[in-house]
Structure 1
């Protein structure tokens, strides 16, 4: 699948040249000629990078950048500016731009910056995904992708429902979860069985994840409310 780039540039000739050059390099290119049109496309389209001119009609590039960053903190954005003024660069970077280039520029330099931004974003996204796939508390780790549970050097075998319950508790680490919320989120809205099923499964989890370890306590009871897992 082609990587998609949005060019937000009010000078039609420059926008056309950029579109031709980028398409030649294998990118799919969208073009907007005003700040408002660019913002709308940025928020609606699936994009890999934005080339954003600073001087735009209807809404300037810095304001477009600021509004995009309120919704999407990861999308790579390179500012295009005709003014070689330090304040423009500083403001843009402070508002979340990944890079900037001053017009007129060599297309090869721009292409190199585009490749660099997309590559860095890909690495960051991969790292973020890897972090999100692991839940932990103390020396207990859950791998959401492989459904493996380990405490220290020991592997812990859980039933599917025990696993789901432990994941829900760790996903709400340092928060108190009520029995009602546990039933809704782990057993589902349609569950009509005995409510003491939670006590049974909590007891099983404690036996498997706490007994025999030097710092045993993982799941804490909050009397009259529910349960919590805390680092301390």
Structure 2
């Protein structure tokens, strides 16, 4: 009887370590349909070192003479160039300095740090009204990027053209987690207003949807922590582990034959 119990114990030890929850939002598996209001979607705010594409246009036919280097384009002429430094002109764009300012021709320094794109657009347009008729402005991030590292297939830094990205999409861009990645403890590192913030997400749970860190901000870092088995592999000789499991498997088969 003791041999029988011993064989059960060995089999349990062999298979218990593989019982890991690899499913995202596994607490939804019994729910045929789920719906909740999106409450944590926030528009990214302009920060120091952001690179902005700013395109200005106006109905004024002679507005371009007020700005150097063709900073104002006529709406009626789709071939006109926009503000220099925009991606359309093949230049790098406007870099936000450490004080949150950019330097626009004629207008000079304008503080955009801490503003959303909509707020920054309104601020630029309000100052342009002193120079041109019915101005419009379009602002776009040229370096909205996130970094995904750790237990993923393709760790890297990604430039996001849409400026809206959640953590699941970021993991998808990185080739998803490996089987050794901890889905219940994904770390988000965020720098905001001179402060570094860290938060952990449990991707096994639907509660992640309501986290303010579910949608990523520019320059966020997503770190997927390795699970215990991966840590064990990195600290223990894997050849020893393989031999041990092989011996345990052989012993369990012998014990089963003795029953």
- TM-score w.r.t. length of structure 1: 0.27
Choose 1 or 2 for highest CA Rg.
Answer: 2
**Structure in which a larger fraction of residues adopt helix:** 1
